[in-house]
Structure 1
Amino acid sequence: MASSIIFGTKNLFRKSTKLKLKEQTMNTEANTDSEPVTLIVIGCGQRGAAYGKYALQSDACQVVAIAEPRPQTRKILADAVLIAVQDHMHVEVALAFAEQGYHILCEKPMATTMEDCIRIEEAINGAGLIFGMGHVMRYSPYSQEITKIVQSQTLGQLINIVQVEPVGYYHFAHSYVRGNWSSEKESSFALMTKCCHDIDIICHWMSPSPPVKVSSFGSLRHFHHRAKPLDAGDATRCLDCAIRNDCPYSAKRIYLDSVSRGNTGWPVSTLVDGIPDIENITAALKVGPYGQCVYESKNDVCDNQIVNLEFENGNTASFTMVAFTSAICERQLRMHFTHGEIVGDMSKYTVTDFRTNKTKTFHPVNEGGGHGGGDIGLIRTFVEAVRTGNQKLLGTDVGEVLKSHMTVFAAEASRREEKVVNCVAFEEKARASVRETRVQTVLR
Structure 2
Amino acid sequence: MSSNGTSSGTAFESAGSASATITVAVIGCGQRGTNYAEYALLNPSSCKVVAIAEPLPARRTSFAKSHLIDSTLVFSTYQELLDASTETIKTIGKKLADAVLVCVQDSMHREVVEKFAEQGYAILCEKPMATGVGDCLSIEKAVKDAGIIFGMGHVLRYSPYTKAVTDVIRSGTLGELVNAVHVEPVGYYHFAHSYVRGNWSKEKESSFSLMTKSCHDIDLLCYWFSPAKPTRISSFGSLQHFRKSAKPKEAYTATKCLECPMERDCAYSAKKLYLDAVMRGNTHWPVSTIVDGIPDIENVTEALKKGPYGKCVYESDNDVCDNQIVNIEFSNGTTASFTMVAYTSLICERQTRLHFTHGEIVGNSNTFTVTDFRTGRSAIHRPKHEGGGHGGGDAGLMRAFVEAVRTGDQGRLGTDVGEVVGSHLCVFAGEKSRKEGRVVDCGEFEREVREEFRSGTKLGESKPSS
Provide the rounded CA distance (Å) in 2 between the counterparts of 1:280 and 1:245: 21
Cross-structure match for 2:12: 26
Provide the rounded CA distance (Å) in 1 between the counterparts of 2:275 and 2:366: 30
The amino acid across from 2:179 in the alignment is N
Asked whether 1:110 is paired with 2:139, we answer: no
Asked whether 1:71 is paired with 2:57, we answer: yes
Give CA deviations for 1:236-281 in whole Å, capped at 9, x if unaligned: 0000001111100000011011110000000000010000001110
**2:425 pairs with 406, 418, 429, which one?**
406
Give CA deviations for 1:318-374 in whole Å, capped at 9, x if unaligned: 000000000000000000000000000000000000000001111100110111100
Asked whether 1:192 is paired with 2:207, we answer: no
**1:35 pairs with 8, 20, 23, which one?**
20
Tell me how far 1:437 sits from its aligned partner: 1.3
SS at match of 2:264: coil
Cross-structure match for 1:247: 266
Cross-structure match for 1:237: 256
| Structure 1: gaps of 5 or more residues | 1-21, 440-444
Task: Name the CA shift for 1:269/1:82 in 2 (closer, same or farther; >3 Å).
Answer: farther
SS at match of 1:193: helix
**2:320 pairs with 285, 298, 301, which one?**
301
Provide the rounded CA distance (Å) in 1 between the counterparts of 2:351 and 2:142: 36
The amino acid across from 2:25 in the alignment is I
Provide the rounded CA distance (Å) in 2 between the counterparts of 1:230 and 1:38: 56
The amino acid across from 2:443 in the alignment is V
Provide the rounded CA distance (Å) in 2 between the counterparts of 1:334 and 1:416: 28
SS at match of 1:365: coil
Tell me how far 1:438 sits from its aligned partner: 6.8
Tell me how far 1:64 sits from its aligned partner: 1.7
Give CA deviations for 1:35-58 in whole Å, capped at 9, x if unaligned: 211111100111111111000011
Give matches, 1:119-130, under 5 Å: 119-130=138-149
Give matches, 1:175-186, under 5 Å: 175-186=194-205
Give matches, 1:52-67, under 5 Å: 52-58=37-43, 59-67=45-53
Cross-structure match for 2:243: 224
Contact 1:24 1:38 in 2 (8 A): no
Provide the rounded CA distance (Å) in 1 between the counterparts of 2:42 and 2:255: 44
Contact 1:25 1:38 in 2 (8 A): no
Contact 2:11 2:120 in 1 (8 A): no
**2:230 pairs with 208, 211, 229, which one?**
211
Cross-structure match for 2:462: none
Cross-structure match for 1:5: none
Cross-structure match for 2:295: 276
Tell me how far 1:82 sits from its aligned partner: 6.7
Cross-structure match for 1:94: 113
Contact 1:50 1:82 in 2 (8 A): no
**1:394 pairs with 397, 405, 413, which one?**
413
The amino acid across from 1:65 in the alignment is A
Contact 1:24 1:31 in 2 (8 A): no
Provide the rounded CA distance (Å) in 1 between the counterparts of 2:415 and 2:51: 27
Provide the rounded CA distance (Å) in 2 between the counterparts of 1:240 and 1:359: 54
SS at match of 2:456: helix
Cross-structure match for 2:75: none
Q: Cα RMSD over matched residues?
A: 1.4
Contact 1:49 1:82 in 2 (8 A): no
Provide the rounded CA distance (Å) in 2 between the counterparts of 1:137 and 1:86: 20
Contact 1:112 1:188 in 2 (8 A): yes
Task: Name the CA shift for 1:347/1:103 in 2 (closer, same or farther; >3 Å).
Answer: same
Give CA deviations for 1:389-427 in whole Å, capped at 9, x if unaligned: 111111100000000000000000000000000000101
Contact 2:177 2:356 in 1 (8 A): yes
The amino acid across from 1:45 in the alignment is G
Contact 1:47 1:82 in 2 (8 A): no
Provide the rounded CA distance (Å) in 1 between the counterparts of 2:104 and 2:30: 7
Provide the rounded CA distance (Å) in 2 between the counterparts of 1:251 and 1:186: 22
Provide the rounded CA distance (Å) in 1 between the counterparts of 2:282 and 2:306: 21
TM-score (norm 1): 0.92
Provide the rounded CA distance (Å) in 2 between the counterparts of 1:34 and 1:195: 36
Cross-structure match for 2:169: 150
Tell me how far 1:435 sits from its aligned partner: 1.3
The amino acid across from 1:169 in the alignment is Y
Tell me how far 1:23 sits from its aligned partner: 6.0
What is the aligned residue count?
417
| Structure 2: gaps of 5 or more residues | 1-7, 68-99, 459-466
**1:382 pairs with 401, 405, 410, which one?**
401
The amino acid across from 1:152 in the alignment is S
Provide the rounded CA distance (Å) in 2 between the counterparts of 1:438 and 1:224: 35
Cross-structure match for 2:160: 141
Tell me how far 1:27 sits from its aligned partner: 5.9
The amino acid across from 2:131 in the alignment is T
Tell me how far 1:33 sits from its aligned partner: 3.3
Cross-structure match for 1:48: 33
Contact 1:168 1:327 in 2 (8 A): yes
Contact 1:307 1:318 in 2 (8 A): yes
Provide the rounded CA distance (Å) in 2 between the counterparts of 1:55 and 1:391: 20
Tell me how far 1:26 sits from its aligned partner: 2.9
Provide the rounded CA distance (Å) in 1 between the counterparts of 2:420 and 2:293: 35
Give matches, 1:284-295, under 5 Å: 284-295=303-314
Task: Name the CA shift for 1:193/1:123 in 2 (closer, same or farther; >3 Å).
Answer: same
Tell me how far 1:83 sits from its aligned partner: 4.7
Contact 2:101 2:124 in 1 (8 A): no
Contact 1:192 1:409 in 2 (8 A): yes
Taking every aligned residue pair, what percent have the same amino acid on both sides? 64
